[in-house]
Amino acid sequence: MPAPPAGEEEEDPDRGTLSVEESSILRLMLGLGTDFEPCATLLWDLAVSAGAAGVMIAHGALSLLEPLLAGAVGAGQGRAAELCLGMAANLAAHPQGLRQLADADGLAELAADGVLQGSADPGALTEACRLLTAACALGPHCAWRRRLAQPAALERAVWIVANTLDQLLLQRAYDLLTGLLHADPALAPALLQAGLLAALQDTILACVRAFVRAPPASAEDGSGSSGWGEEGEGGPPPGGAGAVVSEEAAVAALTCLEELGGSQAGQEAMLAEEACQLPAALVQLLGAECGAVSEALLLVLVAYRAATTPLLAAQPAALQHLAQALADCDAGSEDACDAAWYLLSSALRHMAQPAGAGGGGGAAPPAAAAWHTPLTLDRLRALVGVLQHAPPAPASAQAYAAATCRCLMEACEGAGGGGELRQAIQRLEARA
């Protein structure tokens, strides 16, 4: 194989394109012992690149980071720990880095025990959560997974989401909890016992205040702050009146809640009496003026449809918000679009069969005389108007929704339904 032209670096197929000379990366790695922070900061950024990360991994960067992190943890140096963990997390984002991470038992102990359970520094904890989330993809018998499955680690992760006011840390901690649940759904009971559902409820209630235009009269607006929401200092936790939740943290919380719904324990906890505020808060969040939050919410509402469908069916405004969320779905968000159609047809069916199990199947709706609907003709007209512009859906759900709208019109028709509404429903049926 011919040598590359003078002054150029050879591209390694396993490393990706190398945008910085290998010698420069190695000098930075050597400089970690004498000029740590500036060298670590540059290496953290470089580790995003597959080419630079390949060089770092090939020259033992993860092994080099272990004693540096141990010194930072032992000295209580939060910034130094953050730099080490951030660099390791970026390296673990590449396949070759993740493979080496599986054997880094010492790094696992420092990240899971020393930082996650022992640090109060938000930056260090944020990067520890990011690294530990990557480690969730490793085998169940590796040191990383064993340490994360310990009750103390699970309780600490839940404590963080229940108490931090740092929004990036809140997001990353929820990402970690989602990764744990995805890797091992059997952890759900332990996480619920640690208070995960209560923490999620607080976060979702804060999301309602942050993203819904007209919050409940009892809710108080407030400004966010950083740090910890421990009682008596630092302000309230994420669900408190003064908390503000970022869009990214809201989506992370909703994703965690959806993952929790994949377990039997999660479903049972949602239907339990102590969780009664959470389904109502999720339905209220349909009024959120934030596309990313709305799409994540649709998947959560489907995951917990046994608890949320009756609420949707009883609230015309919620149905209208659901239809609007469907119309606003991005063309590429097929899962969210399908979820919205399913929820809509389930809620409409529940109106006719409140005692039966809801579903979005293709069975024909009951006769108009059987309906007891909270919808007025004006609301139905608005609902049908929005649905005409919604993305397509599975034929069964869309056809059922269209046929149900026709029955609703006949059930609530008082002073004449008007030909315009009938024509709109016909157009909706023609799409199915």
DSSP readout, 324-344?
HHHHH--TT-HHHHHHHHHHH
Q: How many CB atoms lie within 10 A of CB 183?
A: 19
Q: What is the pLDDT of residue 410?
A: 65
Cβ pair 119, 78 in contact under 8 A = yes
Task: Name the residue with higher pLDDT: 155 or 399.
Answer: 155
Query: For tokens 């302000």, what's the residue?
Result: 235
DSSP readout, 120-143?
--HHHHHHHHHHHHHHTTS-TTSH
Mean pLDDT for the stretch of residues 137-163? 96
Of the pLDDT bands very low, low, confident and very high (cuts 50, 70, 90), residue 273 is low
Q: What is the pLDDT of residue 306?
A: 87
Task: Name the residue with higher pLDDT: 309 or 65.
Answer: 65
Q: What is the pLDDT of residue 7?
A: 40
222-236, 289-303, 331-345, range with greatest mean pLDDT: 289-303
Task: Name the residue with higher pLDDT: 251 or 274.
Answer: 251
Which region among 39-43, 214-218, 305-309, 415-419 has the lowest average model confidence (pLDDT)? 214-218
Mean pLDDT for the stretch of residues 361-390? 61
Note the pLDDT tens digit of each residue in 61-120: 999 999 999 999 999 999 999 999 999 999 999 999 999 999 999 999 999 999 999 999
Classify the C-alpha dihedral 61-62-67-71 as positive or negative: positive
Reply yes or no on whether the pLDDT at 36 is more than 90: yes
pTM of the model: 0.81
Residues 6+ apart with CB under 8 A from 174: 161, 203, 249, 252, 253, 255, 256
SS3 state of residue 374: coil
CA dist 287 to 11, 30, 213, 320, 325, Å?
A: 50, 54, 7, 9, 9
Q: How many CB atoms lie within 10 A of CB 127?
A: 27
Query: Of all residues in the chain, what percent carry a pLDDT higher than 90?
Result: 51
Average pLDDT, the chain: 81
Which region among 114-123, 272-281, 287-296, 390-399 has the lowest average model confidence (pLDDT)? 390-399
Q: What angle do CA 290, 195, 128 make, to 5 degrees?
A: 70
Residue 303: name the closest of 285, 323, 282, 317 by CA: 282
153-162, 385-394, 408-417, range with greatest mean pLDDT: 153-162
Reply yes or no on whether the pLDDT at 428 is more than 90: no
Reply yes or no on whether the pLDDT at 137 is more than 50: yes
Q: What angle do CA 182, 185, 188 make, to 5 degrees?
A: 115
137-151, 205-219, 227-241, range with greatest mean pLDDT: 137-151
Which region among 114-118, 228-232, 305-309, 400-404 has the lowest average model confidence (pLDDT)? 228-232
Cβ pair 420, 380 in contact under 8 A = no
First to last CA, the chain: 60
CA–CA dist 341, 298 (Å, integer): 10
